[in-house]
Structure 1
Amino acid sequence: MAADKSPGPDGYTSEFFKASWSITGRDFVVAVQSFFEKGFLPKGINSTILALIPKKNDATYMKDY
């Protein structure tokens, strides 16, 4: 996999994981091991935060939709 390509919709590249492994690695491994031991993922793993970012400087909110 290319270092600057994301394998999924989360947007995290392999380059990110390599650079931050000393910080995130232990938690990542514990989460994967927990999944294989218990057979389920915590609810927070599958949650999403969506932020809409306007592409125009004069974008307005349309209340009637």
Structure 2
Amino acid sequence: MSDRELRQHFLQHRDDKIALRAYLDRLSDRPHKVITTVDDPDFDAKIQAAVWRQMQAADNNDEAEV
């Protein structure tokens, strides 16, 4: 089951504790990239750029599924 399918399953079956645990385990197993630190003078710009990249990636994924 893909991450997206597991997420959808949990959203439809919110009482399924095993599905929730599996989904959270998958999320915690992913590598976490540090975008910036609080004291970085370019904090806002880096956060905005990261959000923009995620939005672009989501748009690209949506186009690939059509």
TM-score w.r.t. length of structure 2:
0.31
More helix, by proportion: 2
TM-score w.r.t. length of structure 1:
0.31
Which has the higher Rg, Structure 1 or Structure 2? 1
